[in-house]
C-alpha cells in the first residue's frame, strides 16, 4: 500500500520531496528521478487542458489523471482536490473514489468553490467558514477506510490576507477535526510568514509547503523550521512549456528537423518510458509458453 509507504517516509525521513506532475509521463519522470511522491496538481492539469485554474475542470477529469498515475507508478500519489468540488457529501464521495484507485493522499483547501489559483494577481481568494471546512474534513475522515490514507488540509488564510492568527486557529481546528497534515500556503517572495507559522503553531501534524514564490528557500531551512513535506508543484510543467515553445519556434522556421536534435530526447528514451521493449520480451515469453504447450515447434 502506497499510503503506508507515505506514512513511513514521513516518520523516517527528515523531509519528503514531492514532485509535481500532470500526466503519467511526467509522473513517471518524477518517480524515476528519486522524488518520494507525486503531486497531481490542479493548476498543472488545468494548464494541459488550457483552461483556467478556476474549478473549470471537474472532479472526474482531475481524478482520471491522478488514477492513471497511481496505476502506473510505484511511489505514492498525492491528489490536489481543490476545495473538494462541493460540500461534505462531495468530499465523502471523492475520498472513496480516490482511495479505491490506489491514491495515497488528497489535499483540500478552505477557499470558496469555485476557486481561483492562489498565485493569480487580484485573484478571488475568499475563504469558507472554519465550520464549513471542518465539516468537509470530518466527512473525509469518515469516508476513508484505509487508516493510512491521508487527508491534507490546506490553509489559505495567508493567501487571502486574513492574517496569521486566523491561519493558526484554523490549523488547530482542522487538526482537531481529523486532518492528517496541514498545508500552509503563501504567496510571499520569502519564507518569513511560513516560518512564523511553523514557529507559532502548537499542533503535531506534519506541515506541508509549496515554495513556488519563495523559491530561494533551501531544503535545510525548511527542515530546520519543522516542515515535513515540500511540494515542487509546477516546475515540471513549466519546464515542458518552456522547451516545447523553444523547439516549436525553431522547428517551424527551420529548414530541417535535425536542427533541434540536441534539444530533444531520443525515440528510445520514449520507448523505454512506454515499456515498448517489455512488450517484445512478453511476446518472446509467450512464444516459449506456446512451445511448451506444443503450439509452436
Of 137 and 152, nearer to a copy of itself (C-beta) is 137
Of 14 and 216, nearer to a copy of itself (C-beta) is 216
Active-site pick, 9, 36, 53, 180: 53
The three grid cell numbers given for residue 229, joined into one nine-digit string: 513535506
Query: Which of 203, 202, 180, 199 has its CA nearest to residue 191?
Result: 199
| Residue 24, CA distances (Å) to 31, 67, 236 in order | 10, 9, 12
Q: For residues 84 and 185, what is the distance between their CA atoms, to the nearest angstrom?
A: 17
CB of 132 to a copy of itself, least distance (A): 9
The answer to whether the CB of 90 falls within 8 A of the CB of 63 is: no
9 counts as catalytic: no
| Residue 274, CA distances (Å) to 29, 31, 129, 180, 219 in order | 12, 14, 46, 35, 32
Of 11 and 261, nearer to a copy of itself (C-beta) is 261
Q: 169 — phi, psi (to 5°)? A: -60, -45
Of 200 and 257, nearer to a copy of itself (C-beta) is 257
Q: For residues 102 and 175, what is the distance between their CA atoms, to the nearest angstrom?
A: 24
Q: For residues 78 and 151, what is the distance between their CA atoms, to the nearest angstrom?
A: 10
Of 200 and 248, nearer to a copy of itself (C-beta) is 248
CB of 235 to a copy of itself, least distance (A): 5
CB of 181 to a copy of itself, least distance (A): 19
- Per DSSP, 167 falls in state H
Instruction: Round the CA-based radius of gyration of the chain to a whole number and report it.
Output: 21
CB of 297 to a copy of itself, least distance (A): 12
CB of 68 to a copy of itself, least distance (A): 6
> Residue 165, SS3?
helix
Q: Catalytic site residues? A: 53
Amino acid at each position: 500500500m502506497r499510503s503506508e509507504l507515505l506514512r513511513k517516509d514521513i516518520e523516517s525521513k527528515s523531509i519528503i520531496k514531492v514532485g509535481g506532475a500532470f500526466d503519467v509521463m511526467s509522473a513517471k519522470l518524477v518517480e524515476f528521478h528519486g522524488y518520494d511522491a507525486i503531486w497531481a496538481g490542479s493548476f498543472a492539469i488545468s494548464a494541459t487542458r488550457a483552461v483556467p485554474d478556476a474549478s473549470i475542470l471537474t472532479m472526474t477529469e482531475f481524478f482520471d489523471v491522478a488514477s492513471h498515475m497511481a496505476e502506473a507508478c510505484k511511489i505514492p500519489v498525492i491528489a490536489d482536490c481543490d476545495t473538494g468540488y462541493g460540500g461534505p457529501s462531495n468530499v465523502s464521495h471523492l475520498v472513496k473514489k480516490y482511495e479505491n484507485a490506489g491514491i495515497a493522499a488528497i489535499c483540500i483547501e478552505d477557499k470558496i468553490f469555485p476557486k481561483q489559483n492562489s498565485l493569480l494577481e487580484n485573484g478571488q481568494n475568499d475563504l469558507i467558514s472554519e465550520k464549513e471546512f471542518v465539516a468537509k474534513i470530518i466527512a473525509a475522515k469518515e469516508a476513508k477506510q484505509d487508516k493510512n490514507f491521508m487527508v491534507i488540509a490546506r490553509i489559505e488564510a495567508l493567501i487571502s490576507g486574513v492574517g496569521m492568527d486566523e491561519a493558526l486557529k484554523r490549523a488547530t481546528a482542522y487538526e482537531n477535526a481529523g486532518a492528517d497534515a496541514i498545508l500552509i500556503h503563501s504567496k510571499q517572495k520569502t519564507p518569513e510568514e511560513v516560518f512564523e507559522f511553523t514557529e507559532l503553531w502548537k499542533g503535531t501534524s506534519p506541515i506541508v509547503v509549496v515554495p513556488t514564490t519563495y523559491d530561494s528557500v533551501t531544503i535545510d531551512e525548511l527542515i530546520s523550521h519543522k516542515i515535513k513535506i515540500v511540494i515542487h508543484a509546477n516546475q515540471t510543467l513549466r519546464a515542458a512549456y518552456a522547451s516545447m515553445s523553444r523547439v516549436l519556434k525553431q522547428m517551424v522556421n527551420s529548414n530541417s528537423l535535425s536542427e533541434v536534435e540536441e534539444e530533444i530526447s531520443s525515440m528510445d528514451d520514449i520507448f523505454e518510458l512506454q515499456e515498448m521493449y517489455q512488450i517484445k520480451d512478453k511476446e518472446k515469453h509467450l512464444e516459449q509458453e506456446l512451445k511448451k504447450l506444443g503450439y509452436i515447434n
